[in-house]
Every structure is written in C-alpha cells, then in structure tokens.
Structure 1
C-alpha cells in the first residue's frame, strides 16, 4: 500500500443518487460560494477515517469488517436536509444530511468496532452521517442558514435509496476524482 496515502471506509452511494446530488449541487453552486465542490464520483457517507495504514492492520480490519457485514442486510436511506460544519458565519464543510437510520448506525458501529479491534486510533466525535458537497465558504458576506433553507432541493422531495455496499477507499490528493475504491463489502439481500 502507498506509504502516505489516507484510507477510509464509507457507505457507497448508488450512481443514480450521485446523479441526483450532482443536479442539486449545480443549482446550489450559483447561490452558495464555496471554494471547492466535491466531484460526483467522490460522494459517499464516511463510516471510519483511518489516515495512514499498513497492510497487516488493513488486512485485519478488512477481515473483521467482512465477517461483521456478512450478517447485515441492505437498507433504505433518505437524503432530506442540508447543513454545515465549522463556524456558523463561514463554514468549512457544506453537506447533505440523512434521515435517522438505526440500520446505518448498526453498520457504522460494525465498521468502527472492527477498525478499533484491528488497532486503528479513530476519531471519538459522535457519528453524524452526511455527504460532503463542498468545502470552505468564500462568500463576501457571512453565511446564514436562511441561504440553505431557501435553496434546499430536498424539502419537497427526498432522495430515497438502498445502501448496498461498504467500500474501503484510498485518497489521491491532487487528483479528481480523488477517492479510489480498493475493497468492496456487499450487504446481504433479503430473500
């Protein structure tokens, strides 16, 4: 594995969801001046950020995750709101949020626990599932939540989809798209 690469596990978004988010994003870009907007192929829901990782530790995490997720079924999610992280007047992250999902929390806990068992040191902040759309507010005036309330493309129609796969990604800084899928962990289908 690449020595200075960063790795993370994430819930993959289906292609049609990425297309819908890209359409919504292009409408939002006109009203919301953020420095960088995420490439549509890079849209995902992060479950565990690993940073740098060695092959033995990564193999151990992969084996534990494969075992844990083999007992999890595909589940439905809905994107229904927008939000930010960082300063209220100048946010660093602009994201699309999801309705609360017990299934998502369980899958995240499986992945997170597997990574801890494999020896990774992970962030301890509470899980806040989201899809990063843009980074670094560059507006001349302060950001206000009124901007996203007015422009929220999901207030009338949520984006519903099935979560089907967890993916281990490698980050390639300076490339676009910058996330390379390495290992795929499919969730089980209900018969």
Structure 2
C-alpha cells in the first residue's frame, strides 16, 4: 500500500489557480524544472502532518475546527518568485505572498492545534508560498535574476480572497494529487 501524507493548507480560489497556471505555462518555456505542480494542487501549506495515525489525525481535525471558530476570511496578494535549495540548482520554485498578519494568525491557530494533537511539526520560520515546480534541470546554472521574469508576466497585482482552510490527503500516483478531506470555512 502506498504511504499517504496529510497537511492543512489555505485553499487558493479556482480562478487564481487558472491565472497562475497561465503564468506557469509561460514560465515553463524559460525555466527548465523537472516537475511542475498541477494547477489544481496549488495551495499554501499551514501544517504538514506527514503519515498521520488516525487517532492523532482525528484530534487534529477537531482541534483545528475549534481553533478556527470566529476566524475571518482575508485578502492575499501574490508578491514574487523565489527558490529553496541550492542557488545554482534549486530544489523548489515558488511564488510567495505579501506579508499578511491574517494569514500568520490562521497559520498559528492551525499549527498550535496540530501540535496539541501530538504532531511534531516543522519548526523553521513560516514562509508562506505556493510551490510551482521542483528540481532544476537546466543545462546552465540557475541565476537569481531569472526570478525577475515575474515582473514581465505581471500586468496587475494578483489579489484574492481566502475563505477556506483544507485538510488534504496526498495521492502520489494521481494528478492532481491532493484530495480535500475536511474543509473549514472562514467567516
């Protein structure tokens, strides 16, 4: 049986996923990454649980539900492209958001709810981003100046409303590979 993972994430609205897909179709011609994320899988991870035992997962679902009661939806604006990994051969290529105290607050509620359910979560500082692609495969070394291409693709600010947090389950053998399991509506 294939191992599955779970994670809580901010759901990106469908129309924004389609706009990002259009931009990624152009980026693919310029930036050779091995794998591009299916547009329906675009999200902002709040807490990665990994392979979650059912009792702990059930506790996390309940805790997040309680933690998000009274949380309001909010606006986000896409900011710029970035990378994780080696500067000359990045592992992850992403799009980040402008700073948002509302996003930070929702992330903190979800993160705390999951740790209280017994999950050991990533302790690095939260860097909200939408993963677009993985594994640089260019013949040339990657150069940070390539990230400036976003400005050429961006005719107007990419603003959108966030009103859902979702628990996703990963299916590595499918595309799209993230299945929504529980949806939390923000007021």
- Same fold, TM exceeding 0.5? yes
Alpha-carbon distance in 2 for matches of 1:186, 1:150: 35
SS, match of residue 127 in structure 1: coil
Alpha-carbon distance in 1 for matches of 2:22, 2:147: 16
| Pairing 1:131-146 to 2, within 5 Å after superposition | 131-146=130-145
Equivalent in the alignment of 2:59 = 60
Q: What's the TM-score once normalised by structure 1's chain length?
A: 0.94
Q: 2:7–2:168: 8 Å Cα contact kept in structure 1?
A: yes
Q: Output the aligned Cα RMSD.
A: 1.4
| Pairing 1:67-146 to 2, within 5 Å after superposition | 67-146=66-145
Q: Is 1:42 paired with 2:41?
A: yes
SS, match of residue 126 in structure 1: coil
Equivalent in the alignment of 1:184 = 183
Deviation at 1:35, TM superposition (A): 0.2
Moved over 4 A (4+): 153-156
Alpha-carbon distance in 1 for matches of 2:119, 2:50: 9
Equivalenced residues, count:
187
Q: 1:4–1:52: 8 Å Cα contact kept in structure 2?
A: yes
Alpha-carbon distance in 2 for matches of 1:45, 1:154: 21
Alpha-carbon distance in 1 for matches of 2:147, 2:121: 31
The change in CA–CA distance for 1:184 and 1:153 in structure 2 (over 3 A counts) is: farther
Q: What's the TM-score once normalised by structure 2's chain length?
A: 0.96
SS, match of residue 76 in structure 2: strand
| Pairing 1:14-29 to 2, within 5 Å after superposition | 14-29=13-28
Alpha-carbon distance in 1 for matches of 2:64, 2:70: 10
* Residues 142-161 of structure 1: CA deviation (Å, up to 9, x unaligned): 11111121344565422100
Alpha-carbon distance in 1 for matches of 2:179, 2:6: 9
Alpha-carbon distance in 2 for matches of 1:154, 1:77: 18
SS, match of residue 82 in structure 1: strand
Deviation at 1:3, TM superposition (A): 7.9
SS, match of residue 66 in structure 1: helix
